[in-house]
């Protein structure tokens, strides 16, 4: 198929490259000309393992191109995929400005019948709104479908090439066969629904995963008080097939560009039809407070933080991505700065994006985990990058001012910590002092 993908962010770029990888002709469009120039030179504007190799392969095979000329991309494509951002408005609702702009531009550029597929996460009813905007800008016939995206940053290529399922929200039944055929290169698990159900499936899925995370975080808080170990509890729970083991890792809460904004948006979607989503409101509240556990533990072991040196391991909202949107690290770092601490920050990939967001004289930018630990009164591990698991813990006692490690992601086992001389605090597990 000839496909245009609008938006070359985490979703659009990966989807475009993967559609090319399975044999389609794909043209990726972005209105950010700097991004397009980078992409044309085979430099990915996002960090995603394996993306540049796949870009090069498919560009060389003539199946992939990048442009900022939206009209040209639309005119030569049968399927137009919308993958622009839908960030939060201050009231939590999804900001549809980019979607509306893209719909208008698509309508203006259409030269023949097109299928327009929305991959961006949009509130229920938005695809009807998109349909209306396009219709106001073209005389051509077209169909709008909803194909929500479920990929995870950090494993986005594998998730796209081998998804658990594809959801196709379709109103025109004649599109089920060609769109099923298009996605069969990825999986046979294709679920055709109404557009409104497809839109809801995406929000409900993210809200459910966020609920699992906040649930286990609350269990971890209770574990700390009753002397149980949340890692053992989660393992015992997860062996029950009805529960499943994924998304039961206690820590400092979820972040990223999806869960925080999608939970807020679903609360708003419900509120707009006079339904108070009480459970999800609690999930969000629990998540907001969980990150401050790190600060509480720091204060409990160090006393007042003013003038103390704190090493931070990890800034991205999760490993294998440079994405810091809604990362717990942001509020933790801001709170520590306000408390007068001096900070030594290190992340394998996300330092540049973090520096664009927060730059303060109290921050020292470090080259590696050991440098961030050197001279520190404590280390806080905020992202479970593989690299941190390989740090020789027994060396820390020789470089740190005080050997305190606060593991916000339960990366280390009791066996790894015992005998290292570290004072070790984690989440929902007994302290090792």
Helix ranges, 227-357 (H): 230-238, 259-272, 278-290, 292-302, 328-338, 351-357
Which residue's CB is nearer to ligand NAD, number 9 or number 255? Answer: 9
Query: Residue 29: helix, strand or coil by DSSP?
Result: strand
| Residue ranges in 210-269 that form contacts with ligand NAD under rule CB under 6 A | 257-258
| Residue ranges in 82-141 that form contacts with ligand NAD under rule CB under 6 A | 83-86, 98, 101-102, 105, 120-121
Residue 401 has a CB neighbour count (10 Å cut-off) of: 14
Query: Residue 357: helix, strand or coil by DSSP?
Result: helix
Which one of residues 32, 78, 387, 401 is an interface residue with ligand NAD (CB under 6 A)? 32
Which residue's CB is nearer to ligand NAD, number 208 or number 398? Answer: 208
| Residue ranges in 291-350 that form contacts with ligand NAD under rule CB under 6 A | none
Q: How far is the CB of 17 from ligand NAD (least distance, A)?
A: 13
User: Is residue 77 within the footprint of ligand NAD (CB under 6 A)?
Assistant: no
Q: How far is the CB of 351 from ligand NAD (least distance, A)?
A: 19
User: Is residue 205 within the footprint of ligand NAD (CB under 6 A)?
Assistant: no
Which residue's CB is nearer to ligand NAD, number 30 or number 331? Answer: 30
* Cα–Cα dist 205/414, whole Å: 34
* Cα–Cα dist 245/253, whole Å: 17
258 labelled catalytic: yes
Q: How far is the CB of 86 from ligand NAD (least distance, A)?
A: 4
Q: Is 28 exposed, middle or buried (0-12, 13-18, 19+ CB in 10 A)?
A: buried
User: Is residue 12 within the footprint of ligand NAD (CB under 6 A)?
Assistant: yes
Active-site hit among 18, 258, 366, 380: 258
* Cα–Cα dist 189/164, whole Å: 7
Q: Which stretch binds ligand NAD (CB under 6 A): 31-39, 138-146, 187-195, 300-308?
A: 31-39
| Residue number closest to ligand NAD, CB atom | 9
Q: How far is the CB of 105 from ligand NAD (least distance, A)?
A: 6
Q: How far is the CB of 149 from ligand NAD (least distance, A)?
A: 4
- Best CA proximity match to 143, nearest among 212, 202, 84, 79: 79
- Best CA proximity match to 30, nearest among 98, 108, 94: 98
* Cα–Cα dist 26/46, whole Å: 19
Query: Residue 152: helix, strand or coil by DSSP?
Result: coil
* Cα–Cα dist 84/381, whole Å: 32
Question: Residue 346's Cα: distance from chain center in Å?
Answer: 20
Residues that bind ligand NAD (CB under 6 A): 6-12, 29-32, 35, 83-86, 98, 101-102, 105, 120-121, 149, 151, 153, 257-258
- The residues carrying an active-site annotation are 258
């Amino acid at each position: 198929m000839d496909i245009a993908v609008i938006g070359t962010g985490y979703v659009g770029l990966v989807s475009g490259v993967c559609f090319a990888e399975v044999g389609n002709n794909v043209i990726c469009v972005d209105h950010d000309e700097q991004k397009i120039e980078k992409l044309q030179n085979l430099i990915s504007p996002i960090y995603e393992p394996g993306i540049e190799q796949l870009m090069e392969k498919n560009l060389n095979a003539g199946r992939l191109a990048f442009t900022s000329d939206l009209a040209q991309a639309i005119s030569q494509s049968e399927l137009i995929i919308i993958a622009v951002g839908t960030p939060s408005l201050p009231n939590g609702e999804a900001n549809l400005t980019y979607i509306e702009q893209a719909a208008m531009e698509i309508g203006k550029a259409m030269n023949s019948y097109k299928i327009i597929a929305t991959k961006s996460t949009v509130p229920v009813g938005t695809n009807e709104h998109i349909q209306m905007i396009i219709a106001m800008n073209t005389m051509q016939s077209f169909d709008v479908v909803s194909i929500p995206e479920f990929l995870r940053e950090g494993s986005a290529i594998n998730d796209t090439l081998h998804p658990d399922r594809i959801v196709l929200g379709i109103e025109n039944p004649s599109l089920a066969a060609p769109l099923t055929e298009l996605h069969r290169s990825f999986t046979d698990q294709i679920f055709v629904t109404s557009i409104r159900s497809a839109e809801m499936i995406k929000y409900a899925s993210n809200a459910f995963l966020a609920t699992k995370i906040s649930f286990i975080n609350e269990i971890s808080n209770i574990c700390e008080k009753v002397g149980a170990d949340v890692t053992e509890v989660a393992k015992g729970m997860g062996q029950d097939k009805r529960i499943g083991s994924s998304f039961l890792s206690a820590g400092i809460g979820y972040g990223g560009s999806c869960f925080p904004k999608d939970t807020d948006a679903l609360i708003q979607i419900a509120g707009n039809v006079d339904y108070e989503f009480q459970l999800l409101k609690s999930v969000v509240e629990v998540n907001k407070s969980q990150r401050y556990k790190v600060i509480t533990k720091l204060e409990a072991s160090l006393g007042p933080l003013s003038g103390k040196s704190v090493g931070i391991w990890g800034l991205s909202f999760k490993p294998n991505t440079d994405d810091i949107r809604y990362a717990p690290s942001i509020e933790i770092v801001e709170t520590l700065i306000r408390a007068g601490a001096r900070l030594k920050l290190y992340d394998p990939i996300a330092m540049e994006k973090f520096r664009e967001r927060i730059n303060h004289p109290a921050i020292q930018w470090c080259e590696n985990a050991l440098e961030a630990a050197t001279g520190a009164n404590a280390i806080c591990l905020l992202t479970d990058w593989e690299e941190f698991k390989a740090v020789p813990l027994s060396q820390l006692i020789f470089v740190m001012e005080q050997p305190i490690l606060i593991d916000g992601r339960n990366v280390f086992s009791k066996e790894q910590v015992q005998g290292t001389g570290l004072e070790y605090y984690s989440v929902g597990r007994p302290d090792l002092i």
